[in-house]
Amino acid sequence: MIKKYTSKNVTWIDLEEPNRREIKSLMDDYKIHPLVANELLIPTFRPSVELHKNFIYLILHFPILRHNKDGRNSENIEVDFIIGKDFLITTRYNSFNPFQKVSKTFEVEAVLDNKKNWEHAGYLFCYIIQELYETLINELDYVENLQEGMEKGIFGGNEKQMVREISKVNHSLLDFKQATVYHQEILDSLEEIGTKFFDKGFNYYLRDINNKYRKVSHILNTNIENLKELRGTNDSLLATKQNETMKIFTILAFVTFPLSLIASIFGMNAVFIPVIGIKYDFWYIMGGMVAATGIMFVYFKYKKWF
């Protein structure tokens, strides 16, 4: 699906799941190199930036959380940018909400005949990439809110349930890190290439993009560190609770052991067994069991085992 927006001297072509006919049309209209055009048809697993004669070709991946009933899973969305002097081509293989917001803004600018932000296609690219990074920040803010909820669950006695929740969020954060780990390198190269392709004044906007990414990276690393602390706290509380449970069962085993021993002794089929046969023999045996239990209780209390 292809959409085309025009505002004075800048044209934006946005493609979602492009086909060969659409790519062939762009090749003819904007003199796109065949190798670049071929890469637009299929996803690329590694980001890159290339300087061509009449455009800059950039590939970046953006991780987005999917909030569904089966859990919080992340998905990496690839966006390809072809940045010319008076045109911008964006290609992606999934729907991506930030592009809807940008397209509406671009249309409003066109209607108002306001071209101050779109002196060339580079400024439009900067606006789009800023919106994409803002989306990542919002996603990480959501993860931060999840961690606040998990913290309440951990100290609310729900350690077992939190093990699964922590694992889900940890998986999402690792996907975030894997998808954005090369952004810094690519943006540094883009800053150099973009200055050559446009002008030195444009370098300010490219540095601003770089700073936006650093903010995303900082929030991501903070979330990862916080989650590590939550996991450690949850594991400690869970281990403590399990140790308490094991201690209770151990104490019960020690308490019931002498009772079982006494019952076994008086249950033997022997010719002579003390107490058995005298008046109130049953109550004597029960009293002995109670006394043995009391002695064990006092001993455990003295040892501070509970």
The whole-angstrom separation of Cα 79 and Cα 300 is 67
Placement of tokens 């883009």 in the chain? 190
Q: Which pLDDT score is estimated for 69?
A: 46
The reply to whether 227 and 294 lie within a common domain is: no
- What stretches of the chain adopt beta strand conformation (E)? 2-7, 10-16, 48-51, 56-68, 71-83, 87-92
Q: What is the CATH number of the domain that holds 267?
A: 1.20.58
Q: What is the pTM of this model?
A: 0.73
Based on the fold, state whether residues 298 and 281 are members of the same structural domain: yes
Residue span of the structural domain in which 289 resides: 241-303
Contact 80, 39 (CB under 8 A): yes
Residue 4: exposed, middle, or buried by beta-carbon count in 10 A (0-12, 13-18, 19+)? exposed
Same-domain status, 132 and 9: yes
In terms of domains, do 82 and 202 share one?
yes
Q: How far apart are CA 191 and CA 203, in angstroms?
A: 6
Region 117-134: what's the mean pLDDT? 82
Structure tokens at 270: 């022997």
pLDDT at 171: 84
Give Cβ neighbours of residue 241 (< 8 Å, ≥ 6 apart). Answer: 159
* Whether 80 and 133 share a structural domain: yes
Read off the pLDDT band of 215 (50, 70, 90): very high
Q: Show Cβ contacts of residue 198 under 8 Å, excluding neighbours closer than 6 positions.
A: 85, 120, 122
